[in-house]
């Protein structure tokens, strides 16, 4: 470790959250060194299109890469560099090549990685969609008539199924749930989304799981728990993610589902350490005090800005932002020519789902309630009504906070 006198802020993770955290640290008045380590060999880029439009059009980093703001013109980027371990007590980290780097403030923005199925059979022909390289490799294998089996019927799985169908592939989706996107959206809306996919030729195998991949050298068949088999030229595993917490093992942190933070995005017990993005688990008083990971694009931005301001204040000796952190989760999903848009946390209200407006077979708004109070809204279409329903969720949250 080299000697130094100036303060150094290190950001582990070079994606959207790391970029926005770097901007926020600089805008807080911190003038020391800001150093970002990113495992991927690219500058930060936009991930959501990888399973949607970018996959359909052929992924191109030129159009996906974020433009750097003036606040980050003097930030040092070490892309293609993996952080092997971090010592919070010593305030140092070790890179894959054994180099150690000291820091005065740390941002954990390592994100999440796709889960892979631990099943017998060949690995060739199996894909995930998380990085630009993942999308590029998948796109090369999808062609008219290709037999694509998607494992998982969440948002990524359904988006990939829709895109591959548009490209002319023969698409089948396998999931243990009773309807697509059942966990975040519930059965009512999930069934309608299944009908929409059905009309595009996508076939669903629900209530079953894959048990093996069969083939000589590469996957040719996916065997299911009911004994049936699906022919496959391409398999896409869309079975969720796991937070990237490996570098932080051995520091006494709760890493059971990401890194636990408080409402300032401080890692508990470490005022010089913050976390943000998909790896961060934090409470949101808009809904309750239970720390959760929320893997939405806007949450990566919101948590990164809060984390950067918190760490910037610590490093400069300024007073931190006293306002409570109350971000509104929001996501969207484009499938075929229709868009799903959500505000709040619909999954918290899956036991009380009500049609608020419209017709499920066309455009509609669906409300999700917990203890009779609105906690989330999901819209099919109705783009002109987004602001209205966002305000309804926010107003309900404010009433809970006051009550």
71 and 184 both lie in a single domain: no
- Tell me if 1 is assigned to some domain: no
| pLDDT per position as a tens digit, 34-90 | 999 999 999 999 999 999 988 998 888 999 999 999 999 999 999 999 999 999 999
How many domains does the chain contain in total? 3
- Find out whether 85 and 247 touch, Cβ atoms under 8 Å: yes
Q: How far is CA 342 from CA 34, 50, 255, in A?
A: 35, 20, 28
What is the distance between the alpha carbons of residues 26 and 71, in angstroms, rounded to a whole number? 6
Q: Which of 316-319's residues contact partners 24+ apart within 8 Å by CB, and which partners? A: 316/28, 316/29, 316/30, 318/28, 318/29
202 and 309 both lie in a single domain: no
218 and 272 both lie in a single domain: no
> Torsion angle, CA of 269/271/277/283, rounded to 10 degrees?
50
73 and 176 both lie in a single domain: no
Phi, psi torsion values for 103, nearest 5 degrees: -150, 155
What is the distance between the alpha carbons of residues 283 and 281, in angstroms, rounded to a whole number? 7
- Tell me if 321 is assigned to some domain: no
Q: How far apart are the first and last CA of the chain?
A: 53
Burial code of 315-324, b = ≥16 C-beta within 10 A, e = fewer? bbeeebeeee
Q: State both tokens at 114.
A: 């796709």
**283: domain CATH number?**
3.50.50.60
What is the distance between the alpha carbons of residues 336 and 388, in angstroms, rounded to a whole number? 25
What is the distance between the alpha carbons of residues 39 and 14, in angstroms, rounded to a whole number? 7
- Tell me if 332 is assigned to some domain: no
- Find out whether 214 and 121 touch, Cβ atoms under 8 Å: yes
Instruction: Single out the residue of 246, 276, 249, 279 nearest to residue 263, CA to CA.
Output: 276
| pLDDT per position as a tens digit, 177-203 | 999 999 889 999 999 999 999 999 999
229 and 174 both lie in a single domain: yes
Q: State both tokens at 381.
A: 């279409």
Give the domain extent around 375. 337-402
Phi-psi region of 299 (alpha: psi -120 to 50; beta: other; left: phi over 0): alpha
**357: domain CATH number?**
3.30.390.30
- Tell me if 49 is assigned to some domain: yes
pLDDT by residue for the chain (403 residues), tens only, comes to: 445 668 999 999 999 999 999 999 999 999 999 999 999 999 999 999 999 988 998 888 999 999 999 999 999 999 999 999 999 999 999 999 999 999 999 999 999 999 999 999 999 999 999 999 999 999 999 999 999 999 999 999 999 999 999 999 999 999 999 999 998 899 999 999 999 999 999 999 999 999 999 999 999 999 999 999 999 999 999 999 999 999 999 999 999 999 999 999 999 899 999 999 999 999 999 999 999 999 999 999 999 999 999 999 999 999 988 899 999 999 999 999 999 999 999 999 888 999 999 999 999 999 999 999 999 999 999 999 999 999 999 999 888 777 6
Return all residues near 275 (Cβ < 8 A) that are at least 6 apart: 107, 108, 109, 258, 259, 261, 265, 267, 303, 307
- Tell me if 79 is assigned to some domain: yes
Number of Cβ atoms within 10 Å of the Cβ of 256:
9
């Amino acid at each position: 470790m080299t000697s130094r006198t100036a303060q150094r802020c290190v950001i582990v993770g070079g994606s959207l959250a790391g970029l926005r955290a770097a901007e926020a640290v600089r805008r807080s008045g911190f003038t020391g060194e800001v150093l970002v380590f990113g495992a991927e060999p690219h500058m930060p880029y936009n991930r959501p299109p990888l399973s949607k439009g970018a996959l359909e059009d052929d992924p191109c980093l030129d159009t996906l890469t974020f433009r750097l703001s003036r606040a980050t013109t003097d930030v040092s980027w070490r892309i293609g560099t993996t952080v092997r371990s971090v010592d919070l007590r010593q305030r140092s980290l070790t890179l894959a090549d054994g180099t150690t780097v000291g820091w005065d403030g740390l941002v954990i923005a390592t994100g999440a990685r796709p889960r892979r199925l631990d099943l017998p059979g060949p690995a060739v022909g199996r894909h995930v969609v998380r990085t630009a390289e993942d999308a590029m490799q998948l796109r090369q294998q999808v062609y008219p008539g290709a037999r694509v089996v998607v494992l998982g019927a969440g948002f990524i799985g359904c988006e990939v199924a829709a895109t591959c169908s548009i490209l002319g592939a023969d698409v089948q989706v396998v999931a243990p749930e009773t309807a697509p996107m059942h966990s975040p959206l519930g059965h009512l809306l999930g069934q309608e989304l299944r009908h929409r996919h059905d009309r595009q030729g996508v076939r669903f195998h629900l209530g079953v799981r894959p048990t093996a991949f069969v083939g000589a050298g590469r996957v040719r068949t996916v065997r299911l728990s009911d004994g049936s088999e699906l022919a496959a030229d391409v398999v896409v595993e869309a079975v969720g993610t796991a937070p990237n917490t490996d570098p932080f093992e051995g520091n006494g942190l709760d890493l059971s589902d990401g890194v636990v933070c408080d409402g300032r995005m401080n890692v508990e017990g470490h005022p010089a350490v913050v976390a943000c993005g998909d790896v961060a688990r934090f409470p949101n008083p808009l809904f309750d005090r239970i720390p959760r990971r929320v893997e939405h694009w806007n949450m990566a931005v919101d948590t990164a800005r809060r984390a950067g301001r918190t760490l910037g204040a610590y490093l400069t000796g300024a007073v931190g932002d006293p306002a409570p952190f109350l971000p509104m989760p929001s996501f969207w999903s484009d499938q075929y020519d229709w868009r799903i848009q959500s505000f709040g946390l619909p999954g918290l209200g899956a036991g009380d789902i009500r049609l608020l407006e419209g017709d499920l077979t066309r455009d509609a708004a669906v409300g999700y309630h917990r203890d009779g109070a609105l906690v989330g809204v999901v819209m099919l279409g109705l783009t002109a009504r987004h602001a209205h329903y966002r305000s309804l969720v926010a107003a309900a949250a404010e009433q809970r906070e006051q009550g």
